[in-house]
Chains A and B, each alone.
Chain A
Amino acid sequence: MRGFLRALGAVVWKDLAAELRSRELLSSMLVFALLVIFIFNFALELDAVARANVTSGVLWVTFVFAGTLGLNRSLAVEKDRGCLDGLLLAPVDRTAIYFGKAIANLVFMLVVAAIVLPVYSILYNVNLFAQGGLLWVIFLGAEGYTAVGTLLAAMAVQARTRDILLPILLFPVVIPVLVAAVKASSGYLQRLPMEEILPWLQLLLAYDVIFTSIAFMVFESVVEE
């Protein structure tokens, strides 16, 4: 178990350190996320009335699109420079590699969220941090999204059509996360009573648990060579 945790920590640290030095992934995810918000602004005419209803939808579509960008890049880098083979050659449990990559991706997504939320708050003069529950929803949603996303990205980068393949593979599978996260977020933003938000939180949790364990079980058959 200790060896597993050390291997996991090493993979996470490697990803974070590489990102800290190059800032390739986060900067492109961030710029992309902000662009999506601006495009929504023009496409949806986000006046005060419309905003109240669509804020959570806009936020989640932004996270999901930026997340796809990050997932694709995170595993494409490993594949292109032959790092994936190096990782697989290491005498550690391969699921440690999966969890390491998934955690790093989760961190990137949360960093993007941590910057998008205040920017959105300033641009539209709403305080998205007023409800602490929203941050939990973002964490749970991002966890489910990256758990499946990392696994599918590991498959997509090994295919010929990899860049266009990931969203096509990922979106139909993460629809439950998206629906639950959007509804729970908008529940918090509109200050609905807890019993209306709870079913969504339960669904998110169930999804996270189920898909993290499935990914844990099948990851090895995705990377074996």
Chain B
Amino acid sequence: MKSQPRLLIGLDVVTVLVMAVATYMVFGYAPIERVMGAVQKVFYFHVAAGWVGMLGFLAAVVAGVAYLVSRKPVWDLVGLGAIEIGLTFMLINIITGSIWARPIWNTWWTWDPRLTTATIMELLYAAYLMLRQGIEDPERRARFGAVYAIIGFISVPLTFFSIRIYRTIHPVVIGGGDPTVSGSFSMTPAMGATFAVSLVAFSFLFASLLWHRIRLGQLGARVEQMKLKLTE
């Protein structure tokens, strides 16, 4: 527990390298899209960030179920870390999406199912953090967190469907809510490669961040224990 495990250091190095390669590929290797121009390059990290966000929320559900079954505190740390990372990357996803939508759809925001669902997810997991803040007992905090992570994640696809039916009955006027309508493009092989590398790079980033977050949580718990011992 004292120093970082070798594997983690290795993971960090790999993450930094792949992120650097992905960044280079986005700016130097991928061709500039003919219709949209340079702003299309947002796409690579935009989708990758959304991917990490979903990965985080999915990991939180798995950790939640694992916690309720096994009651091992480490699963609570996994769940909390995964949701913190998921929240951050979903926010990056929404903001980069807005930056892209402004020139392409001519608006920062439309009430498209994906946009709306992503934002509701942000609110949902922000509520998760507030729930945790309101509970002092760590065991109960972990239990409630696990339950809410499960319930929240199950409601997300239903939210998406509900908004999608809403939109198919009422067509979207501004800009076309569906990305395949306005601002769609077909990827060249170079774009495809850049996209794949970005996804891999962000997945490594997720694994590395989550591991650090879990270690931080464990160290925090140790500090708490030591403080308790000192006051005794």
Are A221 and B147 touching (Cβ within 8 A)?
yes
Partner of B148, one of A169, A207, A215, A224: A169
Are A203 and B152 touching (Cβ within 8 A)?
no
Interface secondary structure of B, over-half rule: helix
Partner of B158, one of A152, A169, A176, A215: A176
Partner of A218, one of B120, B147, B159, B162: B147
Number of residues of chain B lying within 8 A (CB) of chain A: 31
Are B134 and A165 touching (Cβ within 8 A)?
yes
How far does the alpha carbon of A158 sit from the alpha carbon of B165 in the complex, in Å?
Answer: 37
Are B166 and A179 touching (Cβ within 8 A)?
yes
Shortest C-beta distance, B70 to chain A (Å), equals 12
Assess A160 versus B68: contact at CB under 8 Å? Given A179-B162, A218-B151. no
Shortest C-beta distance, B35 to chain A (Å), equals 34
Residue of A nearest to B160 (CB): A176
B188 within 8 A of A: no
Task: List B contacts of A215 (CB < 8 A).
Answer: 151
Are A161 and B151 touching (Cβ within 8 A)?
no
Partner of A222, one of B120, B123, B147, B162: B147
Assess A214 versus B120: contact at CB under 8 Å? Given A175-B159, A176-B159. no
* Among A155, A161, A162: residue with most chain B CB under 10 A: A155
How far does the alpha carbon of A203 sit from the alpha carbon of B155 in the complex, in Å?
Answer: 12
Contact pattern, A 200-213, Cβ under 8 Å of B = 1, otherwise 0: 10010011001100
Are A159 and B120 touching (Cβ within 8 A)?
no
B114 within 8 A of A: no
Shortest C-beta distance, A193 to chain B (Å), equals 12
Partner of B151, one of A148, A156, A179: A148
Shortest C-beta distance, B124 to chain A (Å), equals 4
Shortest C-beta distance, B49 to chain A (Å), equals 21
Are B143 and A222 touching (Cβ within 8 A)?
yes
Are A160 and B136 touching (Cβ within 8 A)?
yes
Are A159 and B152 touching (Cβ within 8 A)?
no
* Among B123, B148, B152, B162: residue with most chain A CB under 10 A: B162
How far does the alpha carbon of A161 sit from the alpha carbon of B169 in the complex, in Å?
Answer: 40
Are A160 and B152 touching (Cβ within 8 A)?
no
How far does the alpha carbon of A83 sit from the alpha carbon of B140 in the complex, in Å?
Answer: 19
Contact pattern, A 127-161, Cβ under 8 Å of B = 1, otherwise 0: 00000000000000000000010011001101111
Contact pattern, B 140-174, Cβ under 8 Å of A = 1, otherwise 0: 10011011101110110011011101100100000
Are B161 and A203 touching (Cβ within 8 A)?
yes
18 contacts between A and B (CB under 8 A): A155-B144, A159-B134, A160-B136, A168-B130, A172-B124, A172-B155, A173-B124, A174-B155, A175-B120, A175-B155, A176-B161, A176-B162, A183-B165, A215-B151, A218-B147, A221-B68, A221-B143, A222-B147
